[in-house]
Amino acid sequence: MIKLPKDKSIAQRCAVLNLEFDESFIGEDVKNTLHAANQFASNKEDLTLDLGNSGTGIRLLTGYAAGFGKKCTLIGDKSLSKRPMRRISDPLNNWGAKISLRDDKYPPIEIGKSKLQSNFVYELEIPSAQIKSCLLLAALSSKTRIEIIENIPSRDHTERLLKECDAEILIEGNKIILDGTKEITKKFIDVPKDFSSAAYLIAANILTEKVIPLVGIGVNETRTAFLNVLEEMGANIELHNYSVISNEPRADITASFDKKLKGISISGQKIPNLIDEIPLIAIMAMFAEGKTTIKDAKELRYKESDRISLLLSNMKKFNPNIGLKEFDDGFEIIPSKNFNNDSVDLKTGGDHRIIMSFMIAALATGKKINFDETESVETSFPGFYQVIEAWYP
């Protein structure tokens, strides 16, 4: 059975809320969030909390810390220090927090002593589980009430986790209402295996025509739009042994295809629940028939790297014959099957998803890739290279 890490989105939420879970196979992002959350839980004042490369961790913990009103500073590595944070600091400051950013944009995030208003209403301007979760955790730690209006659904792991822990949370249409005055019940959370990690092996199975089952994968419907895309491209996806544990669904996944893959167009409300898998979709598009177009995905420019420009520049190196167009919020791919066998040097920007995506492309072609670094993969999928060597030789 292929070994996959625990879902890092859920695990980091458990870490911030000090909920027990199996920590035996987690990536560096989760470890950094765990360490920072444990530091924050101490009685010390004026702490400096290092979140490493974890964009999820720093945003979740900022909300939780702002709710407590305890003075602290949140920092990250070189990559995280370039990621915009006003999307969380603005609503929190409007709520009553005292948060300042470097250049009014970036970490370090300085949180001063403050008290949030007893009631707050916020309409999400962009679909973002990180912003939504940041605010929900702030309401919980400050023991206040929040109403969030979410016009385009995003990942709902925080809502599910809070329900599992008996929080006073209500979902009414596009409104999420949390009364943080009620204490949650601390309990063990059975975290499923990470879907975003499994996605690379699902793609590998399709492109190498292997049928290797992936067991116990989280299949929360706000995360699995990638499977719908693969089916639209012509793949066969099957789920087995479906169950719901700790309020999160999981299943075994098999994937294959018996026809040619075809290019597709993706935009609009489909994008938020696909955002992490878009680089991998681009790789699949290289082996499809016909054009693939991605739009409304500008969020990709604010990840560990500018994933749009870096992805396309590497694709051109990987296959100089491919047709590419870059948009402000996406790209167009016109594939070419004329791959040469030359080895290629690729830039990673310290981005684990860029590395793993092109490793899957290498499996499909046999092309040798030289990356400028590979350590960043440990942030999300420890043991990735060993899995590839053992199961896709």
Give me the active site residues, please. Answer: 276
Q: Distance between CA 105 and CA 239 in Å, rounded?
A: 42
Cβ(251)–Cβ(241) below 8 Å: yes
Count each helix (H run) and each strand (E run) in the chain, helices first.
Answer: 12, 17
CB-based contact 267:295 (threshold 8 Å)? yes
- Of 319, 323, 273, give the one whose Cα is nearest residue 296: 273
Distance (Å, whole) CA 82 – CA 63: 19
- Integer Cα distance of 9 and 114 in angstroms: 28
DSSP letter (8 states) at residue 171: E
Burial (CB count <10 Å: 0-12, 13-18, 19+), residue 161: buried
- Cα distances (angstroms) measured from residue 249 to each of 1, 155, 332: 20, 13, 34
Distance of CA 19 to the CA centre of its chain: 20
Residue 10: DSSP 8-state? H
